[in-house]
Amino acid sequence: MDLPEAWKTEDGSALTLRRLEESDAEKLIAFVRGLSVAARYFRFGSGDYDPGLDETLRYCRLHHDEGTHLVVLTPTACGEQVVGSARYVIQPDRTSCEFVIVVADTWSHHGVGHRLIDALLGCAKAQGLQKIHGRILASNRDMLQFVRGFGFAISDSTEGDWMKIASLDL
């Protein structure tokens, strides 16, 4: 998988997709704190979720053997800003992985989510993984529709009616 990937949106904004680095910790925290209550609820299961530095650093230090964390950044007057984040974590069977994704509300419907999922699937395949799945709240209709577009199958979870599983063979 060739990363970083750089492109411009229709309005000329510059975006870069690359692997998360340890020096991104503060940017990732600012990104999560800037998300709407709805985005935080759908992504983290809690509308007031706030990441601590320790937890964020754990993600930043995710080893290649454990998974991959990607971010999309854009330059601003105050420095680079994270506008999207996606990660997969390799499961104990070593052949499958679980993913999560979130895009800044102000950047939704600009293709950032598509870029992140495409790159995440590319990295997972390149790492020899065979299956990817995500846990998605049943009320998160936009996300369920979004992943269907990538060929994910949606099934019930053992957790209850409120949680769905989106899965894809890589």
Ligand X SMILES: CC(C)(COP(=O)(O)OP(=O)(O)OC[C@H]1O[C@@H](n2cnc3c(N)ncnc32)[C@H](O)[C@@H]1OP(=O)(O)O)[C@@H](O)C(=O)NCCC(=O)NCCS
Strand, helix or coil for residue 82: strand
The one-letter amino acid code at 82 reads: V
- Closer Cβ to ligand X, 100 or 128, answer by number: 100
Find the binding residues for ligand X in span 10-39 (CB under 6 A): 39
Q: CA 170, CA 167: separation in Å to the nearest integer?
A: 10
69 near ligand X, rule: CB under 6 A: no
Q: Give me the least distance between CB of 111 and ligand X, in Å please.
A: 3
134 near ligand X, rule: CB under 6 A: yes
CA 76 from chain centre, in angstroms, equals 21
The interaxial angle of helices 53-60 and 25-33, nearest 10 deg, is: 120
Task: Choose the binding region for ligand X from 54-62, 106-114, 121-129, 162-170 (rule: CB under 6 A).
Answer: 106-114
**Would residue 162 be called left, alpha or beta, if left means φ above 0 and alpha means ψ between -120 and 50 degrees?**
alpha
Question: Which of 124, 129, 143, 166 touches ligand X by CB under 6 A?
Answer: 143
Question: Which of 31, 59, 146, 152 touches ligand X by CB under 6 A?
Answer: 146
Instruction: Specify which residues 129 forms β-bridges with.
Output: none
Question: Which of 3, 5, 62, 111 touches ligand X by CB under 6 A?
Answer: 111
67 near ligand X, rule: CB under 6 A: no
